[in-house]
């Protein structure tokens, strides 16, 4: 599945082809794992996340978990051939309907603030709907810019939902 869009970078009609950027959405698979890992680590090891993905085996296993399962819906946003965005999740079948459960969503830091995230999220929703999903479920933290981004894009908080964690070892970061 490929969604191709030409976007005007001039803000108005452009006189030359140089004013247009080709944006492509591709479904990702395990053969693209190195490209996915590179973008993922580049984004999530910096502010505001500051995640420690220095363990290459752990990063490889995590991305494989996301894109290597039978119900994966993992999408990449490409701008002029460069991977700049990820929507990594699964189509899940719950009692209240089928959902697109996004576990990771990101846009390359230097490309944020130009509407690409909203565009990509809208297209991810369209693709998920084509696969039978009736809603998107995701989680984020209230203290990061992603929270306002999702609210701006029509997401609401589940007031009765609580995320819980129980550490098995005392060396888990953040515990």
Per-residue pLDDT of 86-109, as tens digits, reads: 999 999 998 989 999 999 999 999
pLDDT above 70 as % of the chain: 86
State how far the Cα of 19 lies from the Cα of 15, in Å rounded to an integer.
7
* Mean pLDDT within 3-16: 45
Return the percent helix, strand and coil in the chain, to nearest 5. 30, 30, 40
């Amino acid at each position: 599945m490929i969604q191709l869009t030409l976007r005007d970078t001039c803000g108005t009609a452009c006189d030359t082809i140089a004013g247009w950027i080709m944006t492509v959405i591709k479904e990702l698979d395990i053969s693209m794992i190195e490209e996915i890992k590179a973008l993922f680590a580049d984004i999530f090891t910096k502010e505001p996340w500051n995640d420690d993905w220095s363990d290459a085996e752990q990063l490889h296993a995590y991305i494989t978990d996301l894109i290597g399962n039978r119900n994966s819906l993992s999408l990449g946003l490409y701008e002029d051939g460069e991977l700049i965005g990820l929507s990594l999740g699964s189509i899940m079948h719950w009692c209240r309907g089928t959902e697109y459960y996004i576990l990771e969503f990101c846009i390359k830091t230097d490309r944020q603030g130009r509407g690409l995230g909203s565009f990509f999220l809208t297209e991810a929703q369209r693709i998920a709907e084509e696969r039978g999903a009736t809603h998107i479920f995701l989680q984020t933290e209230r203290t990061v810019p992603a929270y306002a981004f999702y609210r701006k894009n029509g997401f609401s908080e589940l007031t009765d939902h609580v995320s819980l964690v129980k550490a098995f070892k005392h060396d888990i970061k953040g515990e």
